Amino acid sequence: MSTEILNGRLALITGCTGGIGRATSLALARLGCSISIHYHSAKEKATALADELKTVNAPIHVEVFQADLSKMDDVRRLHAEVVAQMGHPDILFNNAGITGPGASIGARSNMEDMSLEAFEHTWRTNTAQAFLVRRSS
């Protein structure tokens, strides 16, 4: 497979500092894709990943962006900053997601125990942000 198959393309990867997001960014960078690294609170990991991506494929453009994806104003700002600094993303990899006490159902807890606020927070972070970014692109 050509290592330049995605030259000139841009990927916005949410939740980019962890396992799947990080691995995806490395794979896309090897194919020549520029990367918009999103993080919520792991700034050091995001910066280190940006440095690593530049060594994987020096010609690609890599930038780091912070946003709380449960806040729709942050999602709008994230998209606007990516577009202003890097252009419109060709690839949206919606990797960010949350679970936690009161924010999950199924094997970990009962739906009856989940507050509406916890459900809305989880839904905004896991679903609404992907819709909003896609609609804006």
Encode pLDDT of 51-94 as tens digits.
999 999 889 999 999 999 989 999 999 999 999 999 999 999 99
In 3D, which of 60, 24, 67 has the Cα closest to residue 43?
67
Tokens standing for 86?
């890097």
Q: Which domains does the chain have, with CATH numbers?
A: 10-97 (3.40.50.720)
Residue 81 has which token pair? 């900053």
Per-chain mean pLDDT for the chain = 88
Query: What global pTM score does this model have?
Result: 0.85
For the chain, state the CA radius of gyration.
Answer: 16
Tokens 């991506």 — which residue?
A: 53
What mean pLDDT is predicted for residues 87-108?
76
